[in-house]
A = this chain, B = another copy of it.
């Protein structure tokens, strides 16, 4: 018995999509699921009760950020991340790897691990599979992720192969170092945009029998079709009874396409970041409410939406708040975007259960893109 239990409750007859239940020490998650990102132990501009209201079942938090500030030992002394952030539902922590490769400076990769400088103050730090496990065990998330190297895009075959093999060796070290029984450890499949490397990575990690698998190194700038191709290579190699988590994906079209290819879990900063920059999701596509065109538009962000924002406030008011630098503007836009995306996931789950995901996907995307692609 591990920390989590996953069961597929329904398999779609016309796509690779499936419904599932992921049991963690903090509750039952219905999959496919989208996880809002709470980088620094908080989803930006949202309180825990706001997250519950929009239906978040699990959030992601960043090991790299929490390690640097406030420090994982402080969070541990606070009683763990759930208690520190007053979030009683599930939490997944990433490994810190992705941020080391995207945010930190002067990094140096060796077999042992990665030396890097903090993006906050330039101080030197070292992360390794063992240290990432130590940090994530101290944080006490429900799901920890193996420490991987996320190769850049584009990267040549040899670089990607070496990187994927390093990730595999690191996955073994993570498994050996991880020993928290109320926390599950997922492996991460790499291999860039090379089908044979993706297969090798998947097969090797599956041989280690992780309770779930992240698919990393996608949605890093490649054409979407290439991402879907890689999913089609990887997904059939992961045992059906293990959850599959596509890391860093969160646009409505990618969610629909990836679910159709059998993905169960997602995370992305897109809905929250877009909101703070004044762009909101609507049924008929993204709308940049910050634009002057909306200064006297007294409609809700997305007419017909039943979130708190759309039930009470107009585009004109939210635009005013954003222009005037009032935090409330970012809060209301973020709340709407998360509601929109989590409601989309709910509709996706409904349509899988009714075996009409292909029809739902087509209708949604036609309305969303209105002829555009």
Contacts and interface: CB of A to CB of B under 8 A. Distances in A.
Interface residues of A, number: 37
A312 B88 CA distance: 11
A363 B45 CA distance: 38
B331 A69 contact: no
Q: How many copies, total?
A: 2
A69 B84 CA distance: 39
A316 B78 contact: yes
Given A44-B326, A70-B320, A77 B314 contact: no
Given A313-B86, A323-B69, A332-B47, A74 B295 contact: yes
A306 interface: no
Given A296-B77, A308-B49, A323-B69, A84 B317 contact: yes
Contact of A327 (B49, B295, B331): B331
Interface in A30-68: 40-42, 44-49
A256 interface: no
A78 B314 contact: yes
A324 B86 contact: no
A79 to B, nearest CB: 8
Contacts of A103: none
Interface in A264-301: 295-296, 298
A22 interface: no
B78 A328 contact: no
A85 B317 contact: yes
B41 A331 contact: no
Interface in A311-343: 312-314, 316-317, 320-321, 323-324, 326-328, 330-332
Contacts of A49: 308
A331 B295 contact: no
Contacts of A70: 295, 316, 320, 323-324
Given A78-B298, A308-B49, A317 B41 contact: yes
Contacts of A312: 48, 86
A195 to B, nearest CB: 41
Contacts of A323: 69-70
Nearest to A311: B86
Nearest to A69: B324
Given A70-B295, A74-B296, 16 more contacts: A40-B324, A41-B317, A42-B321, A42-B326, A44-B326, A47-B308, A69-B320, A69-B323, A69-B324, A70-B324, A74-B316, A78-B314, A78-B316, A78-B317, A86-B317, A327-B330
What 3 A-B pairs are tightest by C-beta distance, nearest first? Answer: A86-B312, A70-B320, A40-B324
